[in-house]
């Protein structure tokens, strides 16, 4: 057994020290598309990218021909829930109330694997939704090599104003697990942020608005002062804050309060989106989640007329594009099937973005806004998180369904 271990370690070290030459038809570098480029990977970093004629190919290298394919940075998923699965399988309430954190973590490990195989090499997880710090432990398990999955940025339980989150509908004598951690007042907000940071979260997520009772419309929750307190506490420790917000007033408070991104933004107005652009706050529109939920309610896309929610979302997204606010890629995957992240890209294009702009959002723009150094671009010195898809996705965004090659940190996980 000991000798076998030594042989395995020798092979792994030899592989890690070798160089790999990737020869696709196209390279999307995170900003634009190039013909007849190659990419050379040494250990876990990109050592060269550009025309083959402009470099000397290294000896003792492994060449991988990616004929008919585009090589590009690994997808950076900006809004996910590894600990959730589609609501048409099990409702959100039942997942929180009836599925143990152990079951949900096992599901999460499967979801992480499916995401990586779909070309997602980095993932921002937007809340454990009642499973405590299970997302933190999933991240640690991936980093230790116990399970396979993307690089993770995690937010733990997320923070809600007291009384403003579910599950709801129980009489006041029943103690039930909530989908997030409650806080009220500056002192409690400070303690909650500090506790979450101490438990290993990478960033803080808040709910700037939500439904106070089931079936009601969303309303602002935290005061501006509370949001500013949360942001100040997090930023003093080098952490950033993002906000679930869909109402204009909830969005306004979050923007003025200093968050870095608004998640969803369904009812955003042109004025609000312009304010976001002015303050450098980005929008993660989560288009795929909205369409999925409407379909779970019975809407047959392409057959039935569009529900008002979809009509309104298309209009708000159009206003966001008009304002020039930075758009982040993130579909709220978990509401729909993990590994189908491409659905958000398809909708971003269908709702008005160019394929190139959508791909840039999913790579270099997300890397920049998520403070990820040396990721999101195919560039010398950057980490070798690269994928290949069939054809040219800058011409047909649906090619993002066809991921045939996945490399994360210089290690090949998929090569079909």
User: Are 168 and 20 in the same domain?
Assistant: no
Closest C-alpha to 202, from 126, 282, 284: 126
Q: What is the DSSP string of 386-411?
A: EEEEES-TTT-GGGGG-EEEEEETTE
Token readout for 280 is: 């450098």
Q: Are residues 314 and 388 in the same domain?
A: no
| Domain span holding position 40 | 13-73+376-415
Q: Whole-angstrom Cα distance, residue 154 to residue 141?
A: 13
Please determine, for residue 22, whether its predicted confidence score (pLDDT) is greater than 90.
yes
Residue 18: the pLDDT is 76
Mean per-residue pLDDT, 384-408: 98
In a domain? residue 209 = yes
Label residue 214 by pLDDT band (50, 70, 90).
Answer: confident
For 321-339, what is each residue's pLDDT tens digit? Answer: 999 999 999 999 999 999 9
Q: Are 256 and 323 members of one domain? A: yes
Contact by Cβ (8 Å): 334, 84 = yes
Is there a single domain that holds both residue 185 and residue 290?
yes
Q: Does residue 147 lie in a domain region?
A: yes
Q: What are the φ and ψ backbone dihedral angles of 134, each rounded to 5 degrees? A: -60, -30
**CB-based contacts of 211, cutoff 8 Å, min separation 6:** 164, 217, 218, 219
Residue 376, pLDDT > 80, answer yes
400 plus 267 within the same structural domain: no
3-state secondary structure at position 209: strand
**Is 206 found in the same domain as 127?**
yes
Cα 281 to Cα 256: distance, rounded to the nearest angstrom: 10
Yes or no: say if 78 and 330 are a contact pair by the CB < 8 Å rule.
yes
> What is the per-residue pLDDT for 174?
87
- Looking at the structure, tell me whether residues 225 and 290 fall in a common domain: yes
- Taking Cα atoms as reference points, which of 162, 77, 152 lies closest to residue 120? 77
In a domain, 347, yes or no: no
Closest alpha carbon to 22 in 43, 48, 60: 48
Residue 57 sits in the same domain as residue 82 = no
The pLDDT confidence band at residue 119, using thresholds 50, 70 and 90, is very high
Asked if residue 43 has pLDDT above 50, the reply is yes
Token readout for 267 is: 């009812």
Mark whether 291 and 168 lie in a shared domain: yes
For residue 16, name the pLDDT band (cuts at 50, 70, 90).
Answer: very low
Same domain for 93 and 65, yes or no, is no
Check which CATH number belongs to the domain holding 291 and give it: 3.20.20.140
Domain boundary among 340, 357, 385: 340
Provide, rounded to the nearest whole percent, the portion of the chain with pLDDT above 70: 96
Count of domains observed in the chain:
2
Q: Are 24 and 169 found together in one domain?
A: no
Does a structural domain hold residue 361?
no
51 and 104 share one domain: no
């Amino acid at each position: 057994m000991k000798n076998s271990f030594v042989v395995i370690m020798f092979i792994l070290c030899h592989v890690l020290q070798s160089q790999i030459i990737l020869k696709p038809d196209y390279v999307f570098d995170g900003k634009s598309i190039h013909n007849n480029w190659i990419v050379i990977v040494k250990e876990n970093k990109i050592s060269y990218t550009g025309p083959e004629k402009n470099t000397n190919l290294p000896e003792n290298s492994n060449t991988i021909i990616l004929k008919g394919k585009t090589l590009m940075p690994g997808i950076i998923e900006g809004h996910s829930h590894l600990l959730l699965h589609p609501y048409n399988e099990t409702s959100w309430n039942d997942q929180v109330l009836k599925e143990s954190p152990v079951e949900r973590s096992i599901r999460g490990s499967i979801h992480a694997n499916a995401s990586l195989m779909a070309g997602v090499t980095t993932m921002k997880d937007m809340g454990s939704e009642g499973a405590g710090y299970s997302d933190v432990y999933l991240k640690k398990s991936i980093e230790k090599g116990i399970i396979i999955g993307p690089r993770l940025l995690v937010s733990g339980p997320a923070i809600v104003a007291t009384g403003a989150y579910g599950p709801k509908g129980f009489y006041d004598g029943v103690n039930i697990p909530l989908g997030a951690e409650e806080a009220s007042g500056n002192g409690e907000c400070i303690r909650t942020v500090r506790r979450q940071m101490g438990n290993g979260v990478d960033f803080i997520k808040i709910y700037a608005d939500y439904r106070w009772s089931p079936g009601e419309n969303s309303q602002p929750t935290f005061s501006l002062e509370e949001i500013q307190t949360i942001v100040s506490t997090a930023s003093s420790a080098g952490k950033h804050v993002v906000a679930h917000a869909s109402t204009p007033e909830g969005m306004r408070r979050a923007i003025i309060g200093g968050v870095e991104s608004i998640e969803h933004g369904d009812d955003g107005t042109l004025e609000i989106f312009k304010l976001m652009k002015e303050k450098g706050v980005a929008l993660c529109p989560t288009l795929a989640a909205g369409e999925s939920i409407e379909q779970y309610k019975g809407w047959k896309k392409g057959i039935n007329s569009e529900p008002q929610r979809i009509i309104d979302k298309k209009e708000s997204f159009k206003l966001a594009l008009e304002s020039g606010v930075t758009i982040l890629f993130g579909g709220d995957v978990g509401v729909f099937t993990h590994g189908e992240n491409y659905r958000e890209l398809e909708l971003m294009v269908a709702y008005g973005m160019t394929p190139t702009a959508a791909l840039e959002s999913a790579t270099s723009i997300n890397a920049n806004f998520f403070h990820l150094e040396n990721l999101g671009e195919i560039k010398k010195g950057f980490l070798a998180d690269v994928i290949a898809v069939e054809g040219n996705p800058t011409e047909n965004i649906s090619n993002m369904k066809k991921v045939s090659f996945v490399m994360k940190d210089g290690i090949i996980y998929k090569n079909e």
